[in-house]
Structure 1
Amino acid sequence: MAPDVESEPAPLLVNKGKDKARDATERTPLLQSGSSSSVRTQDPRPPAQRRIGLRLVYIFLITTLICICALAIIVILAWSYSSRASDMSPEDILHKALIVQGPDRVDVLNVSFSDGIWVNVEGSIGLDAGAAVGINSDPGDGFLDKIWKSLGRWGVRNLDNVSVWTSTINITTRSDPPVFLASVDIPPFQIPLTVDPPADHTWLQHISAPVLIKPTSRTSDLLHFAQDSWRNGQVMVNTEVTTVDVRGGELSTSSWKRRLHRRLSDVETALSLKVPALPGFPHPGRHTPIPPLADLVTLRSFELANEAEKLILQAVATIVDPAPTKFSITTPTFPFVVSLLSDSSSPIPIASVQTDPFRLTHPNITLDISGYVLPLPPDAFPALSAFLSHYLAARSNPISISTPLIPDLTIEATFPAPSPKPQILRNVTIHDMKIKPGNSFLASGTILAHVILPKGMNIDLNVQRVLPDVLVFDGEVPDDVHIGIPPVQPLPDPLPEGAFGHIRPDDWLKARCVSIEHDEEAGSSYAVSAKIVDVPLEVLPGRQKEFSNFVTKIVFGTGAVAGILGTAAVGVDVRGIPTQGRGSSNGMELNGLPFRGSVKVGKGSLFRPAAFGTTENWRNAWRKFIPRHHLP
């Protein structure tokens, strides 16, 4: 080890100055680490850098303090506004903040008695959140109020929308006890929020949603409610919702806004809506009843025709459009059943019809109706005969309308009379009329007439029998003389001027029927003939003089014209009206069909039967009706 010890001094001695400097430099950190505290706190950075660092610390602290204060303010604001919103009742929100415009359009998608009515509703909706929580601008606001409200408005604008989920909405009357009217199911929807909204509602958001409506099966309750609402001029109902879930933000997004959540349970709200004045309707309220359906519906055209062994019908009707001009609705096909009403029986279903899809048009809605006559039981033909007889006599008929979509709903209406009154029997005359005396006068001949159905009634029928009831006049029937409402028996009182005789067979006369051409202003047309043989000609009470004058014209003149006026019953068989069930039917009978015409009666019409034998006997038979000096 000696060589190692001895070798150290040499370099120290040779490099003494340089080593001392090197040692000082290399050992400085070691010496400083053991030096006094004044040496340790010395900052090696320049003074400018130290000032920047201090400023950053100050800025960070101040910013943190501001953020804490802002967060505290926001929390206080949120708590304040949330507290206000939580304290608001659903009635306050509905009446003060929620604005609904419309519905502007309703499309009926599907109607089912079991499933309800699906409709797509379009309208506009919005929530004035500023009114709800009291942050809308007010000219009387102070400085702090303005700041406070402006922060609230900023928060609403950032929230922008709320999304709403509801359970089934039950609607009941406000009576005691309440009466259930309908339930409504709506999908989740979102409502835009606003503050300081403009007055023109341009800020409202368009909404379109399918809605399921299930009305009560007791349609009488609905009709009664509608009548009461119209009389009072207000629709007053209660709505009940089990749960209402409201969350911030839109339906399709997920963000911090979803944390704003409020859930309501067992929400009950009273709603009162004023019934608006409807075009074509009397003013609602004032205890005015709803006008009957017959006053609102006009039958524009009605057609019957045979098709493939069926009797089909087409009709066009108009109904007053009560909706606002901007409201639109589309519907699918609606089926209905039309029944005849009779005092002696229950309603008789006679036709199955349906309406084509329609839209609202002002001032009236046009309904295109098509259908067919249903199979009828034999005991239904008298009611059908009465219906057609009244219609052809220009008299209205009571009917009922029902729909399989709502089995409990039946509406009584009136099938309107045609205008002008149709003239069914035309060109009526008695061909080859003969009168013979005896214990009573007997008439014979062939009744000829044209049966012209009203325009639109293009049906195949066969007139099988007729039963005339005729007044006979000396000369043409005066224009101002009309037959009254049938039956003619008893005789009209007073008797028409110029009438002297009455002919009415005791039983139906067998008839022949042949189809003839008809013009465009009429329906099916037929030529009908029926023979009368020795039918009593009754001289009307107090009219022997008129009869005598008539016979005198025949005997001493070239003949005479006899006017005829009366009504006829016609038994017809209509092809295309199917029957059902057992039993027989004599078809339809059209009663009280009025007619007028004339008959040319010549000398040969006063024939002498073989039973009278000589001319003297014939003259004696007529003598009691004709003055003696008139007889040859």
Structure 2
Amino acid sequence: MSGDDHSLRLDKGKQRATAPEPDERAPLLGGPSLRVLNDEEHTHHSRRRLWSKLCAVFVVSFLLCTVLFLSLLVYSYRARAEHLTPEDVINRGLYVAGPDRVDVLNITAEEGIWVRVDGRIGVDAGLLMDVRRDEEEDGFFDEVKKGLGRWGIRRLRTVTVDSMTAEILSQYGQPILLATVTTAPVELPLTVDRPRDLSWLTNISIPILIQPTRNGSALLDFARHSWRDGFANIRAAVNHVQVHGGGLTDNGWRSRLRLDRPNVCVNVRKKIPELPGLPSPGEDFPPAEDLVTLKTFSVSSTNESLRLDALATFVNPVPPNIHFAAPELPFIISLLNESIALPVASIHTNPFNLTHPNITLSLFGSVLPLPSTVTPVLSSFLSRYLSGQSNPVQIASLLLSDLSVDTFFPAPHPKPQILRDVTIRDMKIMPSGPGGNAIAASGTVFARAVLPKGMDVSLSVNRVWPDVLVYDGEVPDVREDGELPEGAFAHIKPEDWLLSESHEEAPGEEGAVFAVTARIEDVPLEVLPGREKEFSHFVSKVIWGPSGALAGVQGVAAVAVKVHGLPFSNGTEQDSEMELTDLPFRGRVRIGKKGL
């Protein structure tokens, strides 16, 4: 190997390899370097595509899981809502305060009673749906789940119960229909964090149609049983209940949330609160006559009937925060004759509001056209009233058929004295009968009939029938029942009615006043057993006294009167007379020598 060759080898080993000189046949880009760059770029893009796919898969999976979770959550809450019973809602979630005001809008016999009730209402949806916070018991998942539930309730805000009709049944013994109640649609606001007070409740005003049962005795029996029990036990039956989300005018997504329930029945047991003026619940409910006081009562004659006016007060047990406005209310007053009601008067109340502690009620009306068959019952009523005794009556509502209350019409106080200034004018005592063994009396009976205050009627006293005890001197103030009174020596009682005449006198401080006279002719004067000595002593005073002798008279009388304006639909003139019995009287008569 030559030296040149040796230097070439050394240079080859030490020098950097150089690319051959390019010529016109060389490519513009080098082949091996381009492939390396393309591979690296391809790898980078592949990794990015894979990452994107992985992210997409993760996001989709996460969204699917979230949707599935929310769907399960929504389903669970929907299932919880659908499985809520009406008892759950009423007893655990529904809060009602009031009513604060009740206005009677209209009352008709055909339709019923329309009232508007104002109150406050709310639904504790947080409790019903079990989404209220419990920091001691809730874990992370529970907190998330409940938080979403609370968010959903807040978004929903309100639910609406559509118009519905409920039958209210008594739960004492066999279920008995008490009333049918129809309500307008009502919005129920929802809350999730109910405070301890009632500040969260929302004011509502809702019209309600009440159609009471025609079985009035069922209503009264229910009221008495409830008061005695201290609780009101009822059952509400509704054919169909429909609830939707949102308010009455909401047409958005909330209104699409609906819940339908057919044949809903709810048993309700409510404690009766203490009411002012009434005995405590758990005791017997007082009779109506203990709650009502008749302040004034007047009767006046008109051309075709008798006008009736009265002013009564009755205990108001309604709390002061409740307003009640009642329109004119019609009633029928009936007299009771052996439990048979005989209608005699039509009465209306003036519109009234609640006042405390008592409600004052103004009443007006007139006597109904009466059949003659009612005359004995009406006569008995008037006789008892004028004798200071109460009378059984029945008060029935014209608007609520078969709803009636049996009570007593109170007697006037003090007890009225109808017959006054009784005397026998020109009285004569003379022998009569075969052999002159009997004694007869003749004369003219005179009395003033003074009606109780408020009875300003025009009448005619057509007949009288006195039953008289005659005393030697004034009638004593004290008389022992069942025994012959001291000083009485004779008894006078005609065998039949005496025709009489009457005329009206100027009224005094009481009712109408009438002067009555009746002629007695040869009416037997019966000397009382064992009182012959007293009779002889009286006759001696008549004969030897300078001005005769003073005799006291005491007894009872029956009078037959025709009341002008009292309408009778049939019968004779005498059939329309009222026979008033057992009217007490006392008076005096002076008998001179000419009277023997």
Report the TM-score when normalising by structure 1. 0.80
Q: Distance in 1 between matches of 2:133 and 2:415?
A: 70
Is 1:350 equivalent to 2:347 in the alignment? no
Percent identical among aligned pairs is: 48
Once residues 572 and 379 of structure 1 are traced to their aligned partners in structure 2, the CA distance between those partners, rounded to angstroms, is 16
The answer to whether 1:569 aligns with 2:572 is no
How many Å apart are 1:583 and its aligned residue? 4.5
Q: In the aligned structure 1, how far is the partner of 2:540 from the partner of 2:483?
A: 25
Distance in 1 (CA, whole Å) between partners of 2:174 and 2:336 is 35
Give the C-alpha shift of residue 541 in structure 1.
0.8
Contact 1:166 1:241 in 2 (8 A): no
- Aligned mates of 1:66, 1:194 — CA distance in 2: 32
Evaluate the alpha carbon distance shift between residue 370 and residue 74 of structure 1 in structure 2; reply closer, same or farther with a 3 A threshold: same
Q: Which residue of 2 aligns with 1:290?
A: 285
Partner of 2:49: none
- 1:26-74 Cα offsets, whole Å, 9 max, x none, are xxxxx9xxx9799999xxxxxxxxxxxxxxxxx9999999988876665
Question: Cα distance 1:365–1:40, how it changes in 2: closer, same or farther (>3 A)?
Answer: farther
Which letter does structure 1 place at the counterpart of 2:580?
L
Render the CA deviation track for 1:417-468: whole Å, top value 9, x for unaligned.
1111001111111222222233222222222211110000000011112111
Instruction: String of CA shifts for 1:116-140, please: whole Å, max 9, x gaps.
Output: 3222222211000111112223352
- 1:124-163 equivalence runs, <5 A: 124-142=120-138, 144=140, 145-163=142-160
Note closer, same or farther for the CA distance 1:450–1:177 as it changes in structure 2 (3 Å cut). Answer: closer
Partner of 1:536: 524
* CA distance in structure 2 between the aligned counterparts of 1:271 and 1:350, rounded to whole angstroms: 41
Q: Does 1:97 align with 2:86?
A: no
- Report the CA distance between 1:148 and its aligned residue: 4.2
**1:107 equivalenced with 2:69 (yes/no):** no
**In the alignment, which residue of structure 2 is the partner of 1:598?**
588
CA distance in 1, matches of 2:544, 2:223: 76
Gaps of 5+ in 1: 1-30, 42-58, 485-492, 607-632
Contact 1:504/1:536 (CA < 8 Å) preserved in 2?
Answer: yes
Change (3 A) 1:139 1:301: farther
Could you say if the C-alpha distance between residues 60 and 304 of structure 1 is closer, same or farther in structure 2, counting changes exceeding 3 Å?
farther
What corresponds to 1:359 in structure 2?
A: 353
Change (3 A) 1:174 1:598: closer
Give CA deviations for 1:256-290 in whole Å, capped at 9, x if unaligned. Answer: 222332222222222111222333333323xx443
Among 448, 451, 459, the residue aligned to 2:449: 451
Q: Does 1:580 align with 2:550?
A: no
- Alpha-carbon distance, 1:88 to partner: 2.0
User: Counterpart of 1:103 in 2: which secondary structure?
Assistant: strand
Return the letter of the residue paired with 2:520: I
Residue 509 of structure 1 and its aligned partner are, at CA, apart by 1.9
Question: Which of 485, 505, 509 is residue 494 of structure 2 equivalent to?
Answer: 505
Q: Using a 3 Å threshold, how does the CA distance of structure 1 residues 61 and 315 change in structure 2: closer, same or farther?
A: farther
Letter in 2 for 1:315: A
Q: In structure 2, what is the equivalent of residue 547 of structure 1? A: 535
Cα deviation 1:471-516 (Å, max 9, x = unaligned): 111111111237x6xxxxxxxx310000111111222222221211
Q: Residues 123, 294 of structure 1: CA spacing in aligned structure 2 closer, same or farther, 3 A cutoff?
A: same
Q: AA paired with 1:478?
A: P
Q: 1:463·1:513 contact (CA, 8 Å) conserved in 2?
A: yes
Question: Cα gap change, 1:160/1:529 in structure 2, threshold over 3 Å: closer, same or farther?
Answer: same
Matches within 5 A, 1:310-459: 310-343=305-338, 346-437=340-431, 438-459=436-457
Flag the 1:494–1:582 CA change in 2: closer, same or farther, 3 A: closer
The partner residue of 1:305 within 300, 303, 309 is: 300
Task: Give, in angstroms, the shift of residue 545 of structure 1.
Answer: 1.2
Aligned equivalents of 2:65, 2:423: Cα separation in 1: 111
Aligned partners of 1:499, 1:313: CA distance in 2, in Å? 42
Residue-pair matches, total: 546
Distance in 1, matches of 2:576 and 2:246, equals 75
Distance 1:348 1:238, change over 3 A: closer
Is 2:465 the counterpart of 1:471?
Answer: no
Give 1:176 shift.
7.0
1:553 and 1:232 mapped to 2: Cα distance? 72
Superposed CA deviations along residues 195-220 of structure 1, whole A, max 9, x for unmatched, are 22122211111111111222333333
Could you give the per-residue CA deviations for residues 586-629 of structure 1, whole angstroms, max 9, x where no partner exists? 511111111111112222222xxxxxxxxxxxxxxxxxxxxxxx
* Equivalence map 1:54-69=2 (5 Å): none
SS at the partner of 2:401?
A: strand
The residue that corresponds to 2:42 in the other structure is none
Task: Name 1:460's counterpart in structure 2.
Answer: 458
Residues 314 and 175 (structure 1 numbering): CA distance in 2 closer, same or farther, change over 3 Å? closer
Which residue in the other structure is 2:218 paired with? 221
**1:77 CA displacement:** 4.0
Residues 451 and 177 (structure 1 numbering): CA distance in 2 closer, same or farther, change over 3 Å? closer
Amino acid at match of 1:295: D
Judge which range, 549-558 or 417-426, deviates more.
549-558
Residue 78 of structure 1 deviates from its aligned partner by: 3.0
What amino acid does structure 1 have at the position aligned with 2:536? S
Q: Which residue of 1 aligns with 2:483?
A: 494
Partner of 1:516 in structure 2? 505
Would you say the 8 A contact 2:457–2:563 is kept in 1?
yes
User: Is the CA contact (8 Å cut-off) linking 2:474 and 2:588 kept in structure 1?
Assistant: yes
Instruction: Note closer, same or farther for the CA distance 1:38–1:369 as it changes in structure 2 (3 Å cut).
Output: farther
> Residue 250 of structure 2 aligns to which amino acid in structure 1?
T
Task: Please name the residue that 2:177 is paired with.
Answer: 180
What is the Cα-based RMSD across aligned positions, in Å?
Answer: 3.0
Give the conservation status (yes or no) of the 8 Å contact 2:568–2:576: no
Q: Measure, in 2, the Cα distance between the counterparts of 1:118 and 1:383.
A: 38
Q: Could you tell which deviates more after superposition, 77-86 or 382-391? A: 77-86
CA distance 1:514–1:60, change in 2 (3 Å): farther
Alignment-mate amino acid for residue 503 of structure 2: V
Of the structure 1 ranges 231-240 and 370-379, higher mean CA displacement relative to structure 2 is found in: 231-240
Deviation at 1:104, TM superposition (A): 2.5
- SS of residue in 1 equivalent to 2:538: helix
Q: Is the 2:159–2:245 contact (alpha carbons within 8 Å) kept by the matching residues of 1?
A: yes
Letter in 2 for 1:415: F
Question: Which string of whole-angstrom CA distances, capped at 9 and with x for unpartnered residues, describes residues 304-348 of structure 1?
Answer: 0012332110011222223223222222222111111223x9432
SS in 2 for 1:495: coil
Query: What's the CA shift for 1:527?
Result: 1.4
Deviation, 1:566, is 0.8
Match of 2:242 among 236, 241, 245: 245
1:143 to partner: Cα distance:
5.8
Cα distance, 1:177–1:526 mapped onto 2, change above 3 Å: closer
Amino acid in the other structure paired with 2:416: P
